[in-house]
Structure 1
Amino acid sequence: MTSTVQPIAPQGLAAPGGHYSHATVANGFVFVSGQLPIAPDGSKLAAASFEEQTRQVLDNVRAALQAAGSGIDRLVQVRVYLDAIENWPAFNAIYAEWAGDARPARAIVPTGPLHFGVKVEVEAVATV
């Protein structure tokens, strides 16, 4: 059985900064690439507060999901990369509000410094 992989380029997100798609759809799933706190105009929010960065990242994940015909309620797994584990409580509070009733599997990974000096990155898998 051959599966088609469809790249997704959501409107409202800055163009990818490398050789990847913001999301791809295959076999009934959408795979969202790691989203950084990058505004739609391409500005990197490295100097913004952790809370502002987190909200931008989650807005980016939502936009990628919606462009693929999915949504937060269809999340299967979420992986979160934090520059410092001390940011976990703040992330968890914002994430709980964003996710609402959705409770996908989730991993939190403290990484140390992230690309561009940002504090948070999120990738996800959902059904279409």
Structure 2
Amino acid sequence: MKMKRQLISGGSPYEDIVGFSRAVKVGSYISIGGTAPIGEDGNTIGKDDIRKQTKQCLELIKTALEKAGSSLNDVVRTRMLLRDINDWKAASEVRASYFKTIKPVDTIMEISRFIDADWLIEIEVDAIIAD
């Protein structure tokens, strides 16, 4: 049986340039790619503020999950990609405010840079809608 593939847009200006979707849902599985702290106007939210940027990423992820018929409660994995690993604790505190009781697995890593020099973080999420 072939499962339906649903593409979910987040409205990022990079979606058409790169050829990606904010999220892809196949069956009960949802994968959300690197989500940057971009506002509705396409500009970076919270320049130089890891907490504001982390919150913006998670709010975009929350919206994408809702469009897929899911919620943060279905998240099983997060990945936080940081430009400066020293920001891990502040970013993790914001993440915990969303996932403290759900406790999905997490990976935190430092990368050298993002497409936009103002981004301090991108977050990826995998979710599975429970039956």
Deviation at 1:48, TM superposition (A): 4.0
**Counterpart position of 1:125:** 126
**Counterpart position of 2:115:** 115
**Counterpart position of 1:35:** 35
In 2: Cα distance, 1:18 partner to 1:67 partner:
21
Q: Report matched runs for 1:9-88 at 5 Å.
A: 9-10=9-10, 13-15=11-13, 16=15, 17-45=17-45, 47-88=47-88
Deviation at 1:35, TM superposition (A): 0.4
Deviation at 1:78, TM superposition (A): 0.8
CA displacement 1:5-45 (0-9 Å, x = unmatched)? 110125xx445252011101102111111100001221123
Corresponding letter in the other structure for 1:32: I
In the superposition, the TM-score normalised over structure 1's length comes to 0.89
Q: Is the 8 A contact 2:36 2:122 kept in 1?
A: yes
Q: Is the 8 A contact 1:73 1:102 kept in 2?
A: yes
| CA shift in 2, pair 1:126/1:119, >3 Å | same
In 1: Cα distance, 2:30 partner to 2:86 partner:
30
Deviation at 1:46, TM superposition (A): 6.9
CA displacement 1:56-85 (0-9 Å, x = unmatched)? 111111111111111111101111100011
Structure 2 spans left out of the alignment, 5+ residues: none
Q: Quote the RMSD (CA, aligned, Å).
A: 1.7
Structure 1 spans left out of the alignment, 5+ residues: none
In the superposition, the TM-score normalised over structure 2's length comes to 0.87
In 1: Cα distance, 2:5 partner to 2:79 partner:
21
In 1: Cα distance, 2:115 partner to 2:58 partner:
17
In 1: Cα distance, 2:70 partner to 2:92 partner:
22
Corresponding letter in the other structure for 2:79: R
**Corresponding residue pairs, total:** 126
